[in-house]
A and B are shown apart, each in its own frame.
Chain A
Amino acid sequence: MLTINGEKIDAAGKSLAAYLQEAGFDTKRVAVELNLEIVPLKDFEKTILKDGDSLEIVRFVQGG
């Protein structure tokens, strides 16, 4: 299990990009911290989620 935005979610083994797509996020519209480290957009595909990871996803919407 991972902790994603404070919730326990089973996503181990997936890439970060795959998880975000499954969960309905647009990868170009999010900022993601994995275990308190920001993940560059170019690393979303190669970042593989593991049990015990903590993920914080912030989604941005149009308007400012």
Chain B
Amino acid sequence: MIGKSELDRAFDARFAPEIKAKLQAARVAVAGLGGLGSNIAVMLARSGVGHLKLVDFDKVDVTNLNRQMYGIPHLGRFKTDAVRDILADINPYLDIETVCVTVTPENAAEIFRGWPIVCEAFDRPENKAMLVRTLLAECPQTIIVSGVGMAGYGDANDIRTTHPMRRLYVCGDGETAAGGMTGLMAPRVAVCAGHQANQVLQLILQ
């Protein structure tokens, strides 16, 4: 198995040591491990974010394979366990905490309290809004990076990052919902996840 010092040296060949130190010390939670969250988790792991908390209640389904990070070997497994294994193949020296529960207004603050950055990557709009409202009200130190509007295969350039509230960033086109005959497809989901992960890196490194 590759050693930690070897991975560190590979990172040092590309970035200044203080950047690696900030990333290794960073703590980021990902709420939802679907198309957005599974992609975000992988990007943050590749970027060397040292501490990740991954939250999802669901199991990998065959309908997820068109856009989520999972493969056929992960079918039927909890997404928290599957992402943990995927990340271990990328960097086994990260501190990964998984929580396999349904997030509710009652438990959201407890789950995410103390995490300075939370990526909102849920599917249903009611749950997305609930998480954002709850964390803005009950976790005053937490900044949220949310994904809103990434269905279909429209112009990828319509996906952007905005900063509508002091502790809320929103990535996406803001309007293209999944539903009816407009599903989620891998490219736009990954573009949106990339916006979210990049915003996280900016928050960590700026």
The answer to whether A36 and B178 touch across the interface, beta carbons within 8 angstroms, is: no
Name A1-57 residues within 8 Å CB distance of B: 5, 26, 28-31, 33, 36, 38, 40-41, 56
B50 at the interface (CB under 8 A from A): no
CB atoms of B184 and A63 under 8 A apart: yes
Residue pair B129, A38 in contact (C-beta under 8 Å): no
Interface size on A, residues (CB 8 A): 19
Asked if B123 lies at the interface with its beta carbon under 8 angstroms from chain A, I say: yes
Query: Contact: B126 with A64, CB < 8 Å?
Result: no
> Which of A38, A58, A59, A62 gathers most chain B CB within 10 Å?
A62
Q: Which residues of A contact B164 (CB under 8 A)?
A: 5, 56, 58
CB neighbours (8 Å) of A5 from chain B are 164
Measured CA separation A60–B123 after assembly (Å): 10
Option from B130, B132, B170, B177 in Cβ contact (under 8 Å) with A62: B177
The distance from the CB of A3 to the nearest CB of chain B, in whole angstroms, is 13
Quick one: given A31-B129, A40-B133, are A62 and B175 in contact (CB under 8 Å)?
no
Contact of B176 among A30, A63, A64 (CB under 8 A): A63
Known contacts A40-B133, A64-B128, A64-B147; A58 and B32 CB within 8 A of each other: no
21 residue pairs bridging A and B, Cβ less than 8 Å apart: A28-B129, A29-B126, A30-B129, A31-B132, A31-B136, A31-B165, A33-B165, A36-B165, A38-B137, A40-B137, A56-B165, A58-B165, A58-B168, A58-B170, A60-B132, A61-B175, A62-B124, A62-B178, A63-B177, A63-B178, A64-B34
B interface with A by C-beta (< 8 Å): 32, 34-37, 120-126, 128-130, 132-133, 136-137, 146-151, 164-166, 168, 170, 174-179, 184, 189
Residues of A within 8 A of B (CB): 5, 26, 28-31, 33, 36, 38, 40-41, 56, 58-64
